[in-house]
Amino acid sequence: MKKGSKIYSISHFTCPQCNEGKFFVSHPYDLKHVGDVRDNCEVCGLKYSREPGFYYGAMYVAYALGVALFVTIWASCNWFFDNVGVWTQIGLVVFFSIVLSPVLFSLSKIIWANFFIHYQADAKLRKQENLAH
């Protein structure tokens, strides 16, 4: 994963524009601030919220991530293990959905932002130039 890609921004929870600044206020498992996005990037100055309600669209991404989690657990139980009961599979899906929900919530927001905000290699320099003028 090289800097400048959307995968880098998503996996490191960094600014989609400069890939350096932090995107979230804190770690996904800090339940007091779970999913709280910073107002601006401290490196390039990008305003993370494009408009009011911008991150409502992340619900669609969260839904897709939840479905992917369900399918992964279901397929793993049926392909790799013999005779796993339906209630065991339901229990595993519920357990992992609860345990991974802060990460999935955070991932959905950073993925949504990366749909609309693109990497710019000179973003940091442009902020410095704007501050100089």
Asked if 119 and 7 touch (Cβ cutoff 8 Å), the reply is: no
Q: Tens of pLDDT along 81-109?
A: 888 899 999 999 999 999 999 999 999 99
Q: Band the pLDDT of 127: cuts 50, 70, 90.
A: low
What whole-number distance in Å separates Cα of residue 20 and Cα of residue 61?
Answer: 23
Q: Which two tokens stand for residue 61?
A: 């991404």
> What digits encode the pLDDT tens for the residues 59-85?
999 999 999 999 999 999 999 988 889
Tell me the three state secondary structure of residue 62: helix
Split at pLDDT 50, 70, 90, the class of 132 is: low
Cβ neighbours for 34, distance < 8 A, ≥ 6 positions apart = 28, 102, 105, 106
pLDDT band, very low/low/confident/very high, at 122 (cuts 50, 70, 90): confident
Encoding tokens for residue 87? Answer: 């209630």
The pLDDT score that the predictor gives to residue 129 is 65
